[in-house]
Chain A
Amino acid sequence: MGAKKEDAQGKPLTPVMEDYLEAIFGLDSDEDIKAIRVRDIARKLNVKMPSVTSMLKVLNDRGLVNYEKYEYLELTERGKAVGREIKKRHHILKRFLTRVLNIDVATADEEACKMEHALSSSTMDTLTAFMDFIQICPRAGDDWVERFQAYQRQGQSPAGCGENFENFMCESAGAQDVSGRCCMEGKMNLSQMKEGQKGRILRVGGEIRLRRRLIEMGLTRGVYFSIEKYAPLKDPLELIINGNHVSLRVKEAAEITVVPEDAKGVVNE
């Protein structure tokens, strides 16, 4: 990955050049605009038309646009790549500023504009991955940031989220073997837990309709629960999840994998 933020000769680009390329790229991808005119660029960047013309000459010389005065204008392949990259950065930064930091849209737009030139490609890549991550694994545990690191380590396939979670649960429960690998000895079936014991849901298994119903009733991955009691005849059992009391049969509970709060004790045995 990494931005190709240099011209055909390998000379670095200035932030202003990048802004121009971004603007032209934006106009280029707009289907309503058939030909890109100097006037459009000037309006978009809020500069005077002569400045645009002189900049276009520079960009033309550096092989980023094809431009003849009073003729049509187009981006070269390299120019397009830079424009696209800057636009993407702008988008991601803006998203980060608005969604994560809760900054208002106008400010975010303005500041993303400044940041997009300053950050290195690798920082940008990390930020991109982070934005993907919070979308894919929206409910992480307490050590959310640590999980993000694991997410990066393990590659960015969304399927990694589940494993990640298991690892996270395992780590937080302290159930690792000597090599640091997660052995998850602390995990058990819900049906093995005792009255009054607390824990977190790792995975809900079983027949698909039942699984769906259980998840709908709040038995989502990572949620805290406690065993309120077993019925007098030891079946069914009663859980408290998010303040709701839910009952299910022992047979159904046997399909639910959990990590008890005191899992460490189990591992140390």
Chain B
Amino acid sequence: MNKDRLRIALTGNPNSGKTTIFNQLTGTRQKVGNWPGVTVEKKEGTIRRFGYELQIIDLPGTYSLTPYSIEEIVARNFILDEKPDVVIDIIDASNLERSLYLANQLRELDCRVVFVLNMADVARARGYTINADKLSELLGVPVVFTVGNKGEGLDEMLRVAVSSVESDYAIPEERKVRYSKDIETAIFILREIIDSAIDENFPFHPRWVAVKLIENDTIIKDRIRQLMKPADRDAVLKKAEELSAWVADRFKEAPEIVMTDERYGFIAGIIREVLVTSMQKRVDISRNIDLVLTNRFLGFPIFIFFIWAMFQLTFSLGEYPMEWIEAGVGGLSALLGNVLPEGLFANFLINGVIGGVGAVIVFFPNILILFFCIAIFEDTGYMARAAFLMDRIMHMIGLHGKSFIPMLMGFGCSVPAIMAARSLESRKDRILTILITPFMSCSARLPVYIVLAGTFFAAHAGTVIFLLYLTGILVAILTGLLFRRVFLKGEEAPFVMELPPYRAPMLKNLLIHMWDRAKLFLKKMGGIILVGSIVIWALSSFPREVDYSVDYAARIDQTRQAYAQRIADAGPQEEVRLEEEKRAALQQMEREKNVEQTANSYLGQLGKVISPVFSPIGIDWRGSVALLTGFVAKEVVVSTLGVLYATGGDETGSDGLRNALRASGMTPLAGLSMMLFVLLYLPCVAAVIAIGRETGSHRFTALSVVYTTGVAWLVAFAVYQGGRLLGFAG
């Protein structure tokens, strides 16, 4: 071996402590990305040890290497195609039997493996004694003990891994899984044919290929089709099918089931030799916790409390940094406004760039806190319990218990919510969850409700807003049922899930998990929002010179002169009042000018073009423009309305906008219609991009945009026109 760069892949069951070990090894030097073509997170990090550069790749946690889920396919393909120098299999020492299943599949795969018995301290405390030497001897693989969260044994683990590469050790044939006579015969026959069809360049171990073909592994069949000459591959596949049918007939059972059973048989034999359990009567803390947390009566109230606490924390604690950032952004704009000469560039920088980025940055503290809470739920093991509690309800609308979390997060922000749908195993479940998540009313829509409901339903604003949230949930449920019926038909993913023991989370892990996601959010979404807001800014600022109905410059001059005259004439007390009046008059004129400019800008023109679409739902051209700008981020609707109604301030609480809205002749019914539209219509740019990335399909992205907007229009239309028919002021 004269390489100075080794690639080490980490595998292991979910909850085996693999991620903790990975975090301990790589710390902050990790790269998070996606595996090509799928939305499974890929984590890797590089460290220097023993004179090598060790590239450590964290494979997804799996129970097996059968092509059952994307994670398993990803993990297996990586080992098959990328051929890492060594694979480290992290085994939960207190869960040896099940962990050995994956471990044995790795051995069958003929890659270089090191077994790591992790959480050795927990296993010992539970009265398990594992004879590691015996295990190592029986399996023909080096075995190391570690305590991942304390970092014990990790150096030894790497040392053994490196030396196993240096020694070029291979697992002896006789140490591998032996199946029963009939299956071994089938493997032998098939292997002979395979052996005669391949040369030394064939990338896989022939025995393993024979096993997989008898197991009807479709992915391996495809590989064979690509790798072998037509004549050979036909012979191999035909024989494989024959043998597979023969095994099925012999055992009256599908070959893969028989072989899974026999692997467990093999493991049971090993367990008998290496594991001694001293049955201590011990208190199972995790079980006791669950007696309360998933209790028949207490389970739901506690769950609701946790969720409430999460949102409370997110929004109340997040408010402080939010204010600081707002102040900072405001200060920066003001500073630039003073320093830069007034003009197009200053306008671009202040309104286009800073305004746009500021809109995202402001939500960043909230998102950090939200992700931190989610990381706590995940790392402690509570997330699985939440799915356990919610599955019945979610299943009624054709979803999985785990879909609940993304939907819940949708109340905060759709972007991380859509990303959270990754935890769902089945593609159909994931897509359905992603498609209905935008109906959960995100926090950016709240400012819009506050202004409109505050204006038109002053006394009942709270109730109206609450009903809007409920409407969103209802539409989500109906959409779920509809989509499940129409095009996401078929097998729902089974709800087979491990409820891992509760564990105290490690701060380091929590922070890493939080930051990984937050970083992704900042990187991908920040850029898009920036571009989006620049586009909207450009559309609303050009053309610069419009034909004003009035000569504002002349009017401003006139007013100035008139006031100058009056101030000169008036006494000292009068003077202050007149100054005030003059400023107000000038501001009013400036605003009127802005309104006219915006109205005649490209954006305004666009708004007028599409306003016939919105007039049946009671929204005028100004509303249309505001809704268009809401595509960048929904809270922008409010600031656009502020500009268009010439109220100056764009703060949500400002009475100016409310008065202007009321004065414009907009009715409560129209206000309700507009709120419903904002609730349901197309998600913001960032969310649309997230949908595109996570579904990996343009069709579903387009569907989401068209469907949400269509539903929004229909609901608003039904409410507005129905309300008019019923005689509410129209």
Using a CB–CB distance below 8 Å, which chain A residues touch chain B?
132, 135-136, 138-139, 157-159, 162, 207-218, 220-221, 228-229, 231-236, 238, 242-249, 252
Contact = CB atoms under 8 A, between A and B. Distances in A.
A158 B259 CA distance: 13
B63 A248 contact: no
Given A208-B256, A212-B66, A246-B499, A233 B392 contact: yes
A234 B297 CA distance: 12
Given A211-B257, A244-B95, A158 B494 contact: no
B261 A231 contact: no
Interface in B30-71: 63-64, 66, 68
B268 A218 contact: no
B590 interface: no
Contacts of A157: 250
B68 A245 contact: no
Contacts of A236: 388, 391-392, 401, 495
B494 A235 contact: no
A162 B253 contact: yes
A217 B95 CA distance: 11
Contacts of B296: 229, 232
Contact of B261 (A215, A232, A244): A215
B498 A245 contact: yes
A244 B98 contact: yes
Given A162-B253, A232-B389, A236-B391, A221 B261 contact: yes
A246 to B, nearest CB: 6
A212 B496 CA distance: 11
Contact of A217 (B98, B126, B269): B98
Contacts of A216: 63-64, 66, 98, 101, 260
15 contacts: A139-B268, A207-B491, A216-B66, A221-B261, A232-B296, A235-B391, A236-B392, A236-B401, A238-B499, A242-B95, A243-B126, A244-B98, A246-B499, A247-B495, A247-B497
Contacts of B266: 138
Contacts of B299: 231-232
B602 interface: no
Interface string B266-282: 10110000000000000
A18 B299 CA distance: 75
B496 A210 contact: yes
B182 to A, nearest CB: 6
A233 B252 contact: no
Interface of B: 63-64, 66, 68, 94-95, 97-98, 101, 126, 178, 180-182, 250-254, 256-257, 260-262, 264-266, 268-269, 287, 290, 294-297, 299-300, 384, 388-389, 391-393, 395, 401, 491, 494-501
A28 B68 CA distance: 49
A249 B389 contact: no
B269 A138 contact: yes
B261 A210 contact: no
Contacts of B290: 228, 245
A166 to B, nearest CB: 12
Given A138-B265, A218-B98, A249-B395, A158 B182 contact: yes
B268 A138 contact: yes
Contact of A220 (B254, B264, B499): B264
A229 B499 CA distance: 12
Given A221-B261, A231-B388, A235-B392, A158 B181 contact: yes
Nearest to B491: A207
A231 B260 contact: no
Contacts of A243: 94-95, 126
B256 A212 contact: yes
A249 B98 CA distance: 21
Given A159-B252, A213-B496, A228-B290, 4 more contacts: A218-B98, A247-B498, A248-B496, A249-B494
Given A238-B499, A247-B499, A136 B180 contact: yes
A214 B294 contact: no
A238 B401 CA distance: 14
Contacts of A235: 391-392, 395
Contacts of A138: 262, 265-266, 268-269
Contact of B392 (A158, A231, A242): A231
B494 A213 contact: yes
A138 B177 CA distance: 13
B68 A209 contact: yes
A135 B499 contact: no
B495 A248 contact: yes
Contact of B391 (A132, A220, A221, A231): A231
Nearest to B105: A216
Contact of A242 (B68, B98, B265): B98
A69 to B, nearest CB: 42
A242 B252 contact: no
A157 to B, nearest CB: 8
B257 A234 contact: no
Contacts of B180: 135-136, 158
Nearest to A99: B269
A217 B264 contact: no
A102 to B, nearest CB: 10
Contacts of B287: 228
A226 to B, nearest CB: 11
Given A138-B269, A220-B261, A242-B98, A231 B294 contact: yes
Given A216-B63, A217-B63, A135 B181 contact: yes
Contact of A245 (B250, B300, B392, B499): B499
B251 A159 contact: yes
Contact of A238 (B94, B388, B494): B388
Nearest to A102: B273
A252 B395 CA distance: 13
B628 to A, nearest CB: 43
Contact of B260 (A158, A212, A246): A212
B97 A242 contact: yes
B17 to A, nearest CB: 15
A234 B395 CA distance: 13
Nearest to A215: B260
Contacts of A252: 494-496
A212 B252 contact: no
A249 B495 contact: yes
A10 to B, nearest CB: 34
Contacts of B252: 159, 162
